[in-house]
Structures are given as C-alpha cells and as structure tokens.
C-alpha cells in the first residue's frame, strides 16, 4: 500500500511515475498542458531558441498560446511581442493559439474550451495558472525559462508541496460570493501563509459552489503564496467537463488519512462582503465599514471574476441604475464567449444603459497595461486579484479588491459599499 | 564566486509589481529593464545602487506575478544577489533559472543594516557583514538545485535530458 496522500500528491505521483510522493521530495513530472501569454511567451521563445538540440516543441497539441495582457495591442512594443508568439504558433504547428476575437484572458479561455481537466498537470507562464485547480487539476505558474524548458521536454522539476486544508463551514449570506471567501482566506493565512505549499478547499460550502466560483478561489491561491490551490472533483466538476467537452480525465481524491500540514476552518456564516485595501490582498475589511472611501473607477472582469456568473452578479446590481457621475465603470467580459453570452442575456444592454464602458476581453487595467490606467491619487474598486503599489497605474493610485456585487454597488454609490448599503442609500433618497 | 557590495535593505513582501511595474513589461532588454528596477518602491534605488551591490529583504521577496523580467531587471540594474528571509516560489525558480544568486538567511537579514558592506561566498553560503564583522550562513539549496546551478542553469539541464531521451529513443 502506498502511503496515504492528498489529491495534489496523488496527481504529482502519477505524473512522476511513482507509487507515492511526500512533501519536500524533488521530482520531475510529465505535463499535460503548457500555457503562455504574449508576455511570457516572448521571453520563453527567445530562451527556447537557445536550447541546443531543440528545434521542435515536444508536443504541439499540449501547448496553448493566448494573447491577453495588452490586447488588442496597445503599442508597437506589445504588437511585436504578440507577433513573436503568433509566428511561433505557425512555425511549430500549435493549433491552440487563441487569436483576439476568438479568445480572451487565458484563464477564462482554456477551461471553457475543454483544455483543462481533473487530475491533469498544467503549467503556465502566468502566476494565476493556479485557476485550473478549480476543476481539480494540479496547476501552477512559472517563469519563461521554465516554459521554454517545458516546450522542449514536456517535463518540469518541482518540490512536492505540503498541503494546507481549508474547511468552509456554515452557509453563505446574501451577496457573499466565492471572492469574499478567498479574500477572507488570504486574510486568515497572510500573503505568505501558504508559501511553497498547496491549498485544498473543502467543506460543505464548497460543495455548493459553482465551478466559476471555484476558479475564482483557485485563481487567488498564489495570493497566499501557494504553489497550487485545488478543489475536490464532484458532480459539479463532472457536469462542467461534460458541458465543455472535456473527456478522458482521471479523478483523484485525497485519502481520508492523508497528512496535512495545517487545517484552517472558516465559518462562512459570519463572512460579509469583503474588500482588500491597498497594498496587499490580505488587508481585508467588511465592505459595509468603508463608506468613507470615495472611488473614481470600478473595474469588473479579469481572470478572477470575468466569467458569465460574475457578469450576471454585476448586472443584477446595475440593472436600471446609473453609475455615479464621478465614477468610470469598466466592464470587461473575460472571453469572447462570455462577451457573446452577455449580449444574448441582455447584460450588455444593462451595462451600457447604466453608463459603463463595455470592453472587449483583455487583461487591460488589471496589470496597469491599458483600458483604464489610474492617475496620481485615484482610487479604483476592482474585481481583480492584486492591489500592490502601482499595480493599475500611478504609484500613488490605489486598488481595492472585491467581488462583482460590491464593485457594481460601489460604482453606483461613488464610494465603497455593498448591495445592502446601496439599498439603504436608495431608501434615504 | 564572491559577491561584495553595499546592502540595500527593504521590508516584507516586496512584490514583482514594484520590482518591475507592469507598464515596463513590454520591454525585454535587461539594461532597459534595469533602469526601472524597484522604481515604485524606492525611486532612488537605481541612482544609488552601484554594480555589484546586494539587496537584503525580509520575508516573501518577489511575491506576485510570474514575470521573469523581475529577476532580469535586478540583474540589469547591476544587482549581484539578493539575501532574504524567504522568497516567493516563482521568483525563487526564476532566479535559479536566470542565474541571479539568492540566499535564504533570516539571521543575516536581521544582522545587516541598510548601507552595510557585505561579502557573500556564493559557493558555501557564508554571508559576512564587513561593517560589523558578523558572519551568517544561508540555507543550503537542495542537492538537485545545486546540480542545476552547477550544470549552468535549467537550459543546459534540458539539453542533457534531450540527449538522454534521444538515445533512449534510438535504443527502443
Ligand atoms: S486578468 Fe490580471 S491577473 Fe489575470 S492574467 Fe490578466 S493580468 Fe494577470
């Protein structure tokens, strides 16, 4: 009998050709998918060309390339990076190249095209590759040289992470979403609380979470320093795989007696809508306590909250309302599919009528790239995942992280607040 | 290899957005990137740092994005190495892969002040504070990583693996 293992350990052992692995082991794993965006790919391609003996990638079908960060290209420099990736895709016969207008943000695009599945090993040249843990994959972000090596070999070395189990108990209050849970979790753990480790999200509340919410939470595992974040595979996962045409995957469950480094219990019943204040995602407070913070911009979208469920949450609040005169609200569906769905469901009209900018899919302002960069002293409430200094523009601008409900309500209020504060304001008016 | 220079000391959670802000991530050239290294944390860093100087920082250095240009920008600015209490994992890998020497040494960080002269023996992990005369030892890299570094970085390792695979394929 192999030793009892966690879900993460089982996936890693299977891909290392071993009966079992233990935290701390350094192993080499076979990869099921290697992803890069135009920023990481440009450097990775340059490094790949330096590898003697590597003219072709190891398996074009297992590589995905997604322009997303500065798309549509904002300047000549980014156009050049995108072109490098496009040319590489053609040269190497990489069919999973998602041109703009047919793609979007990598972490939204890959799952909806059935390219990630339970039990798989996925690395990406982007730290939020952890997102695919939402479907029960081992997924982690790496730098460009690791991507170049993976292009050539289809393998990666890593240190097996110890797993921290998070148990979500109780039930969710109205307008509390997956984003609020992960912000609470990061506050609990700290931004280096899971450094080098794995997070496993469990408990009754998780069982009821839609896959979109699981992606949101796995996305931000890196914000606690984790190597990966993973959800158990259940009926919700299987239904999603069937819907997107993902077949041939292996399901791994943590053994009952598996060893965890630590177990953290979160009582969800007491969690209110959350906001993380600058300059770290761990600086979390209740949205209801922050009404004295005026905002000039609201961003709704990105790889954290750019799925159709997120758009629906924002539209529920913005329907028939107007964005506050001193606020610019920018809504960015995470992919062309989400964008199209927003049109079909009438959400696009709700956003436009409310006075929002509705952008084509892009990372845009999230990384201070374009489509909503902030000036000196400006504040933005955002459904993104990082609020580091200068993240969205000027070094003295500020980013407040939250979920779609609070971002939409704050856009209408002109200051930070959740749907409950918005209702109260309407009564007074 | 001996690294010797002035220590520039910073706090916890120095993230990759302040090491090299997103607005410069359309650059690839190390020297151009180096001109903006740490700009959003310490606008004077590039002016005061001399080639060969070292960064000394608290826990979780390099947290955030996977941008390899963060390690490249520090090298481009002439930084010879980073001593920290701990490193964020992607940054840690990126340093090993791109050849920016890093040292995990909690006591050393506490025993070095901003502006101290320090000398690091990269081969045995000894860190000496020349200003105070105190000496510290960095955590050793696991053997696999030592070998990776000794072989000349990840890409050289990949070349050897490709040869192994090719000859295994010939035999099969
Ligand atoms: S949306 Fe933001 S966090 Fe997500 S991949 Fe794009 S830049 Fe990174």
> What range does the domain containing A111 cover?
7-265
Q: Is residue A2 part of a domain?
A: no
What is the model's pLDDT at position B123?
A: 87
Q: How far is the CA of A211 from the centre of ligand 1 (A)?
A: 19
The distance from CA A190 to its chain's CA centroid, rounded to whole angstroms, is 18
Q: Kindly report, residue by residue over A53-64, the tens digit of the pLDDT.
A: 999 999 999 999
Q: How far is the CA of A71 from the centre of ligand 1 (A)?
A: 12
* Cβ neighbours for A109, distance < 8 A, ≥ 6 positions apart: A66, A68, A98, A103, A334, A335
Interchain CB contacts (distance < 8 Å): A and B: 143
Q: Is residue A229 part of a domain?
A: yes
What is the model's pLDDT at position A237?
A: 98
Q: Is residue A321 part of a domain?
A: yes
| CA–CA separation, A247 and A50 (whole Å) | 36
Q: Kindly report, residue by residue over A77-97, the tens digit of the pLDDT.
A: 999 999 999 999 999 999 999
Residues A78 and A201 in one domain: yes
Residue A137 has phi, psi (to 5 degrees) of -95, 160
Residues A260 and A277 in one domain: no
The residue among A214, A232, A265 that closes a domain is A265
Q: Is the C-alpha dihedral spanning A348, A349, A354, A356 positive or negative?
A: positive
Q: How far is the CA of A34 from the centre of ligand 1 (A)?
A: 17
Residues A284 and A249 in one domain: no
Question: Is some CB atom of chain B closer than 8 A to the CB atom of A55?
Answer: no
> Could you read off the pLDDT tens digit of each residue along chain B, which spans 172 residues?
899 999 999 999 999 999 999 999 888 899 999 999 999 999 999 999 999 999 999 999 999 999 999 999 999 999 999 999 999 999 999 999 888 999 999 999 999 999 999 999 988 999 999 999 999 999 988 888 888 888 878 999 999 999 998 888 766 5
**Smallest CA–CA separation between B156 and chain A, in Å?**
7
Q: Which residues, numbered 261 to 280 in chain A, qualify as contacts with chain B under a Cβ-Cβ cut-off of 8 Å?
A: 280
| CA–CA separation, A61 and A235 (whole Å) | 28
Question: Is some CB atom of chain B closer than 8 A to the CB atom of A247?
Answer: no
What is the model's pLDDT at position B170?
A: 64
Residues A165 and A297 in one domain: no
Residues A279 and A255 in one domain: no
The residue among A197, A231, A265 that closes a domain is A265
| CA–CA separation, A218 and A387 (whole Å) | 18
Interface predicted TM-score of the whole assembly (ipTM), two decimals = 0.92
Q: Is residue A425 part of a domain?
A: no
Q: Is residue A423 part of a domain?
A: no
Domain count, chain A: 2
What is the model's pLDDT at position A37?
A: 97
Token look-up 């990082």 returns A386
**Smallest CA–CA separation between A192 and chain B, in Å?**
6
Cα–Cα distances in Å, from B37 out to A53, A240, B75?
A: 34, 43, 9
Question: Is some CB atom of chain B closer than 8 A to the CB atom of A368?
Answer: yes
Residues A170 and A254 in one domain: yes
Q: Do A145 and B68 touch (CB under 8 A)?
A: yes
Residues A161 and A84 in one domain: yes
Q: Is residue A246 part of a domain?
A: yes
Residues A231 and A350 in one domain: no
Ranges of residues in chain A with a pLDDT under 50 are: none
What is the model's pLDDT at position B58?
A: 98
Contact B56, B5 (CB under 8 A): no
- The enclosing domain of A21 has a CATH number of 3.30.499.10
Residues A257 and A395 in one domain: no
Q: Is residue A309 part of a domain?
A: yes
Nearest CB partner across the interface for B60, out of A39, A192, A389: A192
Q: Kindly report, residue by residue over A303-341, the tens digit of the pLDDT.
A: 999 999 999 999 999 999 999 999 999 999 999 999 999
What is the model's pLDDT at position B53?
A: 97
CA nearest to B60 within chain A: A192
Contact A146, A48 (CB under 8 A): no
| CA–CA separation, A359 and A298 (whole Å) | 13
* Cβ neighbours for A39, distance < 8 A, ≥ 6 positions apart: A69, A70, A81, A125, B25, B26, B67
Q: Which of A407, A251, A378 is nearest to A318 (CA)?
A: A407
Listed in sequence order, the DSSP H helices in chain B are 16-19, 30-34, 45-48, 69-76, 89-98, 106-110, 143-150, 154-171
What is the model's pLDDT at position B99?
A: 85
Residues A152 and A208 in one domain: yes
| CA–CA separation, A70 and A79 (whole Å) | 9
Residues A319 and A359 in one domain: yes
The residue among A265, A285, A314 that closes a domain is A265
Q: Which of A124, A102, A115 is nearest to A41 (CA)?
A: A124
Q: Is residue A134 part of a domain?
A: yes
Residues A229 and A284 in one domain: no
Q: How far is the CA of A197 from the centre of ligand 1 (A)?
A: 22
CB A135: neighbour CB atoms within 10 A? 29
Residue ranges around ligand 1 (CB below 6 Å): A 68-69, 105, 107, 126, 128, 302-303, 363, 366-367, 384-385
What is the model's pLDDT at position B172?
A: 56
In degrees, rounded to 5, the angle at the alpha carbon of residue A56 between the alpha carbons of residues A52 and A58 is 100
């Amino acid at each position: 009998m192999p030793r009892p293992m966690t879900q993460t350990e089982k996936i890693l052992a299977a891909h290392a050709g071993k009966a079992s692995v233990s935290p701390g082991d350094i192993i080499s794993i076979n990869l099921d998918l290697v992803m890069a965006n135009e920023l990481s790919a440009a450097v990775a391609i340059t490094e790949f060309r330096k590898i003697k003996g590597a003219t072709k990638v190891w398996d074009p079908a297992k590589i995905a390339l997604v322009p997303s960060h500065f798309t549509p290209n904002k300047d000549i420099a980014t156009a050049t990076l995108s072109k490098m990736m496009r040319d590489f895709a053609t040269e190497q016969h990489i069919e999973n190249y998602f041109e703009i207008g047919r793609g979007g943000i990598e972490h939204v695009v890959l799952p909806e095209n059935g390219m990630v599945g339970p039990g798989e090993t996925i690395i990406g040249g982007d730290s939020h590759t952890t997102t695919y843990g939402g479907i029960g994959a081992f997924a982690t972000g790496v730098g460009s040289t690791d991507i170049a090596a993976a292009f050539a070999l289809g393998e990666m070395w890593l240190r097996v992470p110890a797993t921290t189990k998070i148990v979500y108990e109780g039930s969710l209050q109205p307008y509390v979403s997956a984003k609020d849970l992960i912000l609470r979790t990061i506050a609990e753990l700290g931004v280096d609380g899971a450094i080098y480790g794995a997070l496993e999200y469990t408990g009754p509340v998780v069982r009821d979470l839609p896959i979109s919410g699981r992606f949101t939470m796995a996305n931000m595992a890196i914000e606690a320093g984790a190597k990966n974040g993973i959800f158990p595979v259940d009926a919700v996962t299987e239904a999603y795989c069937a819907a997107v045409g993902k077949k041939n995957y292996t399901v791994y469950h943590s053994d009952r007696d598996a060893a965890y480094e630590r177990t953290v219990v979160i009582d969800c019943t007491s969690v209110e809508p959350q906001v993380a204040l600058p300059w770290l995602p761990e600086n979390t407070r209740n949205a209801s306590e922050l009404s004295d913070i005026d905002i000039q911009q609201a961003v709704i979208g990105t790889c954290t909250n750019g799925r159709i469920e997120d758009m629906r949450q924002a539209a529920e609040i913005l329907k028939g309302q107007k964005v506050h005169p001193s606020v610019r609200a920018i809504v960015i569906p995470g992919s062309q599919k989400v964008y199209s769905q927003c049109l079909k469901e009438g959400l696009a009209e709700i956003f436009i009528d409310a006075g929002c900018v509705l952008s084509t899919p892009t990372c845009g302002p999230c990384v201070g790239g374009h489509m909503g960069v902030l000036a000196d002293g400006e504040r933005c409430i955002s459904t993104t995942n990082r609020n580091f200094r200068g993240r969205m523009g000027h070094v003295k601008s500020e980013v407040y992280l939250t979920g779609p409900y609070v971002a939409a309500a704050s856009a209408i209020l002109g200051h930070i607040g959740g749907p409950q504060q918005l209702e109260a304001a309407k009564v007074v008016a | 290899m001996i690294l010797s220079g002035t220590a520039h000391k910073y706090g916890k959670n120095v993230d990759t957005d302040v090491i090299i802000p997103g607005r410069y991530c359309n650059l690839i050239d190390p020297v151009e990137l180096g001109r903006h290294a740490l700009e959003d944390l310490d606008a004077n860093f590039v002016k005061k740092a001399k080639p060969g100087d070292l960064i000394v920082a608290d826990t979780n250095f390099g947290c955030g994005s996977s941008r390899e240009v963060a390690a490249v920008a520090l090298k481009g600015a002439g930084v010879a190495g980073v001593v920290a209490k701990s490193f964020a994992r992607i940054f840690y890998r990126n340093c090993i892969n791109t050849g920016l020497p890093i040292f995990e040494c909690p006591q050393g960080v506490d025993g070095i002040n901003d502006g101290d002269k320090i000398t690091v023996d990269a081969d045995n992990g000894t860190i000496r504070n020349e200003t105070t005369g105190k000496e510290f030892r960095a955590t050793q890299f696991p053997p696999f990583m030592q070998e990776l570094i000794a072989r000349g970085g990840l890409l050289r390792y990949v070349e050897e693996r490709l040869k192994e695979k090719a000859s295994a394929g010939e035999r099969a």
